A and B are shown apart, each in its own frame.
Chain A
Amino acid sequence: MLNPLLILIRRDLRLAVRQGMDSMMALVFFVLAVVLFPFGVGPEANVLARIAAGVIWVAALLASMLALERLFQADYEDGSLELLVLAPVPMEVVVAAKIAAHWLTTGLPLMAAAPLLAVLLGMEAGGFAGLLAALALGTPSLSLIGAVGAALILGSRRGGVLLSLLILPLYIPVLIFGVAAVDAAAGGYALQPHLLVLTGLLLAALALAPWAAAAALRQAVE
């Protein structure tokens, strides 16, 4: 079971590398969206430091959603999805591999860029650990939940809009506890409760999302 998982992840990563700019788009969008805020809100350092966590998290949600629309779409259009459904590998494993590849190509770069953006917005130094820990636990949940939406929109026109309507409400718990973790860390309060909730959300998504997405994909090819 592990071998097919690695084969699938390697293929998706290789595709992401070959497509170059396509896979960098989420990261570029993330940086641009955050950089716009000081222009819009004004250079008041206190205000920016106060909203830094929220801005970074909201931008991360939207950026991670950008790449989701294509998660299964390309395979659906060129017939690969049918063959993946027919492969002697459980569909849940295929979905898990695609989610892992999505996180490695979007979630991980977002995590790497987030501290720089936090510096830009003048976030309290104490908040950095909270931000990284919260993103490390939160972004995989975003990829997992998003995959269910990406599987459901296959075959529909204007899938991108539909995807945001389906997925953004489900992202709200991750957003709330992600921002709360950073604020708690910056304010010197206990970080642990928020991280435990984020872990709980991640485990729940891990347990449910691959099965839900696999069921949606089987429907899509029928």
Chain B
Amino acid sequence: MTDFVGRQLVCVRGGRVVFADLGFRVEAGGALVLAGPNGSGKSSLLRLMAGLAHPAGGVLAWGGEDVAGDPATHRARVHYVGHLDAVKPDLTVAENLVFWAALRGGSDGAGARTRTALEAFGIPHLADVPGRYLSAGQRRRLNLARILAAPAPLWLLDEPKTALDTDAAGRVDAAVASHRAEGGMVVMSMHGGSLPEGAVVLDLAAFNAGLEAVGC
């Protein structure tokens, strides 16, 4: 069975060790929740998993194969939602979404996938509104709709519920649940809130401790 595994990961940012000797394992249909105080490296770990940054040590493996060996294939199976929503103010909501849907999943049926994704996040009525008029929560909904508009097995969500109301937060939970039911994996960082069912919690604080003492 496919799994996504990290072993003995070390992350260095700005000459400072953020975490060291970190390991995790996510199985198909599984969810991993990253917890820990601000600055404990939740976002950094998600960026390592996405391939946006490279670990200073350790291995990330997909189905037993090191992802560094074939970064292009790894990119194709990852959906990353970061702190920035990547919404173009001059394009309408639909245009923004169709672009990403077509770039990742091909032009065929991009329009239909876009409509389904907008409905899943409750913003089909905004389809023709330019990005500049969206509120922070609406921009976040649009960014999350992007991951539904083109399928990928591994979702990396960095505090996905920031700026969202309870309705939208519920829609995120529903999307995560149905993605996992189809065998997808989810790694998300969050502060409080209800955990997805059967999620494994990884507390990053455990991997920060004692680094100062070692003299890193």
Q: Which of A's residues lie within 8 Å of B, judged by CB?
A: 3-4, 7-8, 11, 14-15, 18-19, 78-80, 82-83, 85-90, 221-222
Contact = CB atoms under 8 A, between A and B. Distances in A.
21 contacts: A3-B106, A7-B107, A8-B103, A14-B91, A14-B95, A15-B91, A18-B91, A78-B84, A78-B86, A79-B84, A79-B85, A80-B88, A82-B80, A82-B86, A85-B75, A86-B78, A86-B80, A88-B75, A88-B76, A89-B103, A222-B54
B100 A19 contact: no
Nearest to A10: B99
B107 A82 contact: no
Contact of B90 (A19, A86, A87): A19
User: Chain A contact residues: over half helix, strand or loop, or mixed?
Assistant: helix
Given A4-B103, A90-B72, A85 B90 contact: no
B100 to A, nearest CB: 7
Size bracket, chain B contacts: 20 to 34
Contacts of B106: 3
Contacts, number: 59
Interface of B: 50-54, 72, 75-76, 78, 80, 82-88, 90-91, 95, 99-100, 102-104, 106-107
Contacts of A80: 86, 88
B157 to A, nearest CB: 14
Contact of A85 (B52, B84, B85, B107): B52
B72 A88 contact: yes
A79 B82 contact: yes
A222 B55 CA distance: 11
B99 A83 contact: no
Contacts of A15: 88, 90-91
Q: 3 tightest CB-CB pairs across the interface, nearest first?
A: A79-B84, A88-B76, A18-B90
A87 B80 contact: no
A88 B104 contact: yes
A87 B104 contact: yes
B87 A78 contact: yes
User: Chain B contact residues: over half helix, strand or loop, or mixed?
Assistant: loop
Contacts of A222: 52-54
A11 B131 CA distance: 14
Contacts of A3: 106-107
B102 A7 contact: yes
Contacts of A7: 99, 102-103, 107
Contacts of B99: 7, 11
A78 B142 CA distance: 14
Contacts of B91: 11, 14-15, 18
A154 to B, nearest CB: 14
B83 A79 contact: yes
A85 B76 CA distance: 11
B5 to A, nearest CB: 20
Nearest to A80: B86
A192 B84 CA distance: 50
A88 B52 CA distance: 13
Nearest to A81: B86
Contacts of B80: 82-83, 86
Nearest to B83: A79
Nearest to A18: B90
A78 B51 contact: no
A50 B90 CA distance: 44
A33 B173 CA distance: 57
B107 A83 contact: no
Contacts of B100: 83
B3 to A, nearest CB: 21
Contacts of A78: 84-88
A10 to B, nearest CB: 9
A46 B100 CA distance: 55
Interface centre among B75, B83, B95, B106 (most CB of A within 10 A): B75
A82 B82 CA distance: 9
